[in-house]
Amino acid sequence: MAERAPERGRPEILFPLFAGLETLEGVGPKTARSFAGLAVETPKDLLLTLPQGGIDRSLKPTIRDVALPGTATVEVTVGRHRPPSGRGPYRVEVDDAATRFELVFFHARGDYLQRLLPTGARRIVSGRLELFDGVAQMAHPDHVLTPEEAGTLPAFEPVYPLTAGVTQKTMVRAVQSALARVPELPEWIDAELKRQKDWPDWHIAVREAHAPEGPEDISRSAKARERLAFDELMAHQLTLALARASRRRYKGFSSRGDGRLRQKVLESLPFSPTGAQLRAISEIEADMGAETRMSRLLQGDVGAGKTLVALMALLIAVEAGGQGVMMAPTSILAGQHYANLRPMAEEAGVVMEILTGADKGAERAAKLRALAAGDIQLLVGTHAVFQDEVRFADLRLAIVDEQHRFGVAERLRLSTKGQATDVLVMTATPIPRTLSLAQYGDMDVSVLDEKPPGRKPVKTALLSTARIGEVVSHLRDALAKGRQAYWVCPLVEESEVYDAVAAEERFAHLRAELGEGKVGLVHGRLTPSEKAAVMAAFQEGRVQVLVATTVIEVGVDVPNASIMVIEQADLFGLSQLHQLRGRVGRGSAESTCLLLYRSPLGETAKRRLMVLRETEDGFRIAEEDLAIRGAGDLIGTAQSGLPRFRIADLELQTPLMALAQSGARALLSRDPTLESAQGRAARTLLWLMEQDKAIGLIRAG
């Protein structure tokens, strides 16, 4: 691995931190490749890989002061060597100030041990001590030093994460070599904040983090670690804030509506909007009326009424003389949105159409012509509407249904295209505050935290799968009264991995129990048209029980469905269970959610299911899910758009993330092009943290 070529523009002061790893002491090409297992490619990566623990190596007068088994560091006089007879270990007797014990070596060479531990010599030994047949033994000491070398052993030795091909010794040596390169960098943290927090300078923080003097120095609240975590979060939030500022530099349309179309819809509704809905609508209206582009996240709990808010936003675009589009991740959901929105659009006298992959030939061409001419005012579709041949006469607002993880990278791409369209991203998953800041820190956020009137609470019960016969019997009675039900299974077909009940197997069983035509099956392996046919039959009531995998998690709306059975609920995440439960309770009937679990139930699974039984508050459920599962797992790390931090902990450092966001935004409001002393220091931070996209955004400005 040669020296990595510095990217154009990286400050020279950082060059030594971005050299090849083999330029560090004790790291050859093979070891450098092994470091990839720790995602370490440069000395900078190594410096931000902090000790994950530590061992007390303080010198004790005797092992009698050590609770066994435990680590001991004592000065000893070397006694008799006892080479193995047969296949046993090599033993060396040693005496400390008060007692005798043995050093034990397996597969050791006697000549090497004679040189390391000559009889009669004084040595300092440190390692794990255990009792074996009543004799204290230290097998393969971690350190054997002469008394003159005692000062080289820290009283508290840091322990690093390791990977195949990288030992603790290699790690320590490489880190020490990297620390010798640490430069004094200009300060990017606001002076008053740094003083309040009592944080050290960056170069001091790095050194202190790698030289802990006790367990407290390895905790998240240690000043050095807290500062380094803040730096990571600050770089991330600066990138998001720059993306936000970059979007705002592009002129948007000022879309001001007169309210006439919205008024028609509101008058046709059998209920009044909630306070949260009205607040979100007015926030969106203010954004759309501004000269800059809107970039807003609409976050709502299950059944909080996002659809109405979305329609009001789309109608503002039409009132202003333009068009609006709403994009959903699947054709099923696009069809669902269209079915829900169209009657309200008709009340307002607005032309609405749907465009999906199913549109072909002349019909598709006619829709595209009408769209380009402005005859279609509102369009609902899948993300296929991003394609080049789909042209609008005057597109003012794009609403993205967030199921496909429209991540930070995609939003950065939109920023650089300079499209003037306002963007509203919707998510049905309540997101804990930290993750919201990490994923959507560049966006303004509206939260729907009230349920519309008429949404009935869903009764949630836990039942063992052993009682499945009773569940089917109750279901039979409910179907006789005209009710409909969902039955959710975790996997499509039998899997040895999970021992999960296949949806196909459950479908066959329920059809035999309840009657041939009453049960439908939908899962991810069906074609879009097959799925659509089953969903249509369920929505129209021709099918009474829908057996499904989690494809129905988001967006499906069948008001007559009042029973949700979730089989092996212990395999699902909390937020997922909450989303599934939200499919019922939409009509006038009392609704029930049955969580079937396999006995015995593990502690974590039990905690999840109990939380779900106790509350319907999606935000509380999301916080609990985050506490149980962690950030990457909660959102699904692969496509989460979540940043990977080496030091900062998203779950446990929410206040630090909020501080980083306010700090980043405040700096950019004072110094949009980062030309001040603090601004130039912040540029150094962005280069240090490899936020190259952000550097590009400053240049674009």
Question: What CATH number labels 458-636?
Answer: 3.40.50.300
Tell me which of 625 and 494 has the higher pLDDT.
625
Residue-level length of the chain = 701
Cα separation, 543 vs 485, whole angstroms: 9
Q: Can you state the percent helix, strand and coil of the chain, rounding each to 5? A: 45, 20, 35
Sign of CA dihedral 310, 311, 314, 319: negative
Is 498's pLDDT higher than 60?
Answer: no
For 208-241, the three-class secondary structure string (H helix, E strand, C coil) is HHCCCCCHHHHCCCCHHHHHHHHHHHHHHHHHHH
Coil, helix or strand at residue 164: coil
The phi and psi torsions of 590 (rounded to 5 degrees) equal -60, 135
pLDDT digits (tens, 9 = 90+) for 578-617: 888 888 877 777 889 999 988 888 777 888 888 888 877 7
Contact 320, 255 (CB under 8 A): yes
Q: What is the rounded average pLDDT for all residues in the chain?
A: 84
Which of 372-381, 528-537, 643-652 is modeled with the greatest confidence?
Answer: 372-381
Is 401's pLDDT higher than 50?
Answer: yes
In the Cβ-directed half-sphere of 592, how many Cα atoms lie within 13 Å? 16
pLDDT digits (tens, 9 = 90+) for 145-167: 999 988 888 889 999 999 988 98
Confidence of residue 239 (pLDDT cuts 50, 70, 90): confident
Contact 508, 587 (CB under 8 A): no
Among residues 409, 367, 407, the alpha carbon closest in space to that of 384 is found at 367
Is 573's pLDDT higher than 70?
Answer: yes
Sequence-ordered list of residues with C-beta below 8 angstroms from that of 115, at least 6 positions apart, any chain? none
Q: Return the biggest CA–CA distance within the chain.
A: 101
Is 378's pLDDT higher than 60?
Answer: yes
Confidence of residue 418 (pLDDT cuts 50, 70, 90): very low
**Angle, to 10 degrees, between the axis of helix 223-249 and the axis of helix 677-688?**
100
pLDDT digits (tens, 9 = 90+) for 23-45: 999 899 999 999 988 989 999 99
Model pLDDT, residue 250: 67
Span of 174-188, 189-203, 231-245, 399-413 with lowest mean pLDDT: 399-413
**Overall average pLDDT of the 92-121 stretch:** 92
What is the CATH architecture of 260-448?
Answer: 3-Layer(aba) Sandwich (3.40)
Contact 268, 262 (CB under 8 A): no
Contact 135, 99 (CB under 8 A): no
Question: What CATH number labels 63-153?
Answer: 2.40.50.140
Prediction pTM value? 0.65
Coil, helix or strand at residue 604: helix
Confidence of residue 556 (pLDDT cuts 50, 70, 90): low
Confidence of residue 297 (pLDDT cuts 50, 70, 90): confident
Tell me which of 679 and 330 has the higher pLDDT.
679
Coil, helix or strand at residue 448: strand
**How do the domains of the chain map onto residue ranges?**
12-54+161-226, 63-153, 260-448, 458-636
Sequence-ordered list of residues with C-beta below 8 angstroms from that of 182, at least 6 positions apart, any chain? 17, 47, 203, 206, 207
pLDDT digits (tens, 9 = 90+) for 483-494: 999 999 876 555
**Overall average pLDDT of the 215-232 stretch:** 93
Are the folds of 63-153 and 260-448 the same?
Answer: no
Which of 57-71, 179-193, 241-255 is modeled with the greatest confidence?
Answer: 179-193
